[in-house]
Chains A and B, each alone.
Chain A
Amino acid sequence: MITINNLVKVYNGKVAVNISNLEIGNGIIGLVGNNGAGKTTLFRLLLDLVKSDRGEVLSNEKNVSENEDWKNYTAAYIDEGFLIPYLTPEEYFYFVGKLNNRSKADVDEMLAGFTTFFDGSILKSGKYIRDLSKGNQFKVGIAACLLQDPEVMILDEPFANLDPSSQIRLIQMMKALNEKKPMIILVSSHDLNNITDVCTRILLMEKGLIIKDLQTSSDTLNELEDYFRV
């Protein structure tokens, strides 16, 4: 459970995030909004990568900026800044595994499950992560999150850089995860079709505010399209 109380972040006099109260429970939660709406800043606030000007983020009732317990059950991929560019994908996976007390054998076993998702271009590719294409870097980041078997997973625009097959694979994986165990999956995206397909709840952001909080239904896609058509 993530709770946000009176959270405000201002950049150069411009409000980036301003959320008075928000509770996020288990399920796949989508975050939509145009560029500059504050989606990524919100994610960074949740991960204690940005200092809030006011308010707090509680993860399992503990303030994320005062306590590091959330790191034990939270995995995130926002951009390439989460990958170590000069490692091979394998080295990176083993490193992340080690931080989460997974042995190499465990990691190998989990990676075997990603064979179709990786499509032969990640493992044993003979490249450092910095030499992979952006889409493949995203795959590495997403797989590294899944490896951690987290209770909270945060992905920023995961569909944007993936090819259609991988998008479909990712949606299937997220749904399967959500059914397997109770967890929070927070995803932002510009792809309204994907987001209404995968999410149980959708938050619409505009200029730092959450202006809509929708439980996904058959109308949701139309409602969102109406909003964005303006």
Chain B
Amino acid sequence: MDLITELTILVLAAFVGFEVISKVPNTLHTPLMSATNAIHGIVLLGGILVIGQAEGFLSKTILVIAIAFGTINVIGGFLVTDRMLEMFKKRPEPKKQAVEATEASK
């Protein structure tokens, strides 16, 4: 792929990022930060792409560490975010349900 195509993708994706994220309520800032943090763990792909061509002990070692780092970033990031969001479950609202039940029975 040529550089200009890549730059086009880069700039358009940046605008998508701005648009999607500028609407997040305060409440979700920490989980959002954590989820985006997990997404940049995608650099893991870079390690996978390069390691096959790498030669020599040092290069291979560097890349195994890079893949391990990327994996920690991805897996840890998504798990931690899930743990945070798990707590955002809706509270059971017995009153509302009761109202709906009586309305339904009418």
Same assembly:
no
B residues apposed to A, CB below 8 Å: none
* Residues of chain A whose beta carbon lies under 8 Å from any beta carbon of chain B: none
